[in-house]
Amino acid sequence: MHPFRKAVEERDEAAVQAMLADDVVFTSPVSYQPYVGKPITAAILRGVLRVFEDFHYIREIADPNGCDHAFVFEARVSGAAGKKVTGCDFLHFNADGLIDDFMVMVRPLSGATALAEAMGAQFDRIRQEASELASN
């Protein structure tokens, strides 16, 4: 099992954060603009762990050189009548073995909409956490 998958499935926020490059670019399935930097990306991922229930990966796909990985997942969006989503985390690892590109896709549209609403409801908290991480 890939260390990223293990950290996420164990909800080990510190381990996930440690795998992020300082200049990581996070592309959300529900936001037009990507987010740049470790603090905001780590805070968004914490938020995702709060809004997803029964999160689990069902497949890992990796390129032969080990820099690109795709992790297919299933989860339910909390507070959205258990709206089930299927998605994929597309990760690129830099030469230091850290994630420098993190893109997420989610389906169906109704699930992505529920995710956008759930994440939007806590984005003030996410920004606050990112600010605290940036000042440490």
DSSP 11: T
User: What token pair was written down for 17?
Assistant: 């954060």
Q: Per the structure, how many domains does the chain have?
A: 1
Host domain of residue 47: 3-130
Q: Sort residue 55 into left (φ over 0), alpha (ψ -120 to 50) or beta.
A: beta
Burial status of residue 28 (CB atoms within 10 A of its CB: 0-12, 13-18, 19 or more)? buried
Given a contact cutoff of 8 angstroms between Cβ atoms, the answer to whether 49 and 11 are in contact is yes
Residue 96 lies in a domain: yes
Query: pLDDT tens-digit profile of 14-51?
Result: 999 999 999 999 999 988 899 999 999 999 999 999 99
85 or 64: which carries more pLDDT confidence? Answer: 85
DSSP 86: E
Residue 136 lies in a domain: no
Residue 54 lies in a domain: yes
Residue 114 lies in a domain: yes
Closest CA to 62 of 33, 92, 83: 92
Query: Within the chain, where are the H helices?
Result: 3-9, 13-18, 38-51, 109-121, 123-135
User: What token pair was written down for 119?
Assistant: 């994440």
Given a contact cutoff of 8 angstroms between Cβ atoms, the answer to whether 114 and 29 are in contact is no
What's residue 135's pLDDT?
87
Query: pLDDT tens-digit profile of 105-119?
Result: 999 999 999 999 999
Residue 135 lies in a domain: no
> Whole-angstrom Cα distance, residue 89 to residue 69?
8
Residue 90 lies in a domain: yes
What CATH code is carried by the domain that includes residue 45? 3.10.450.50
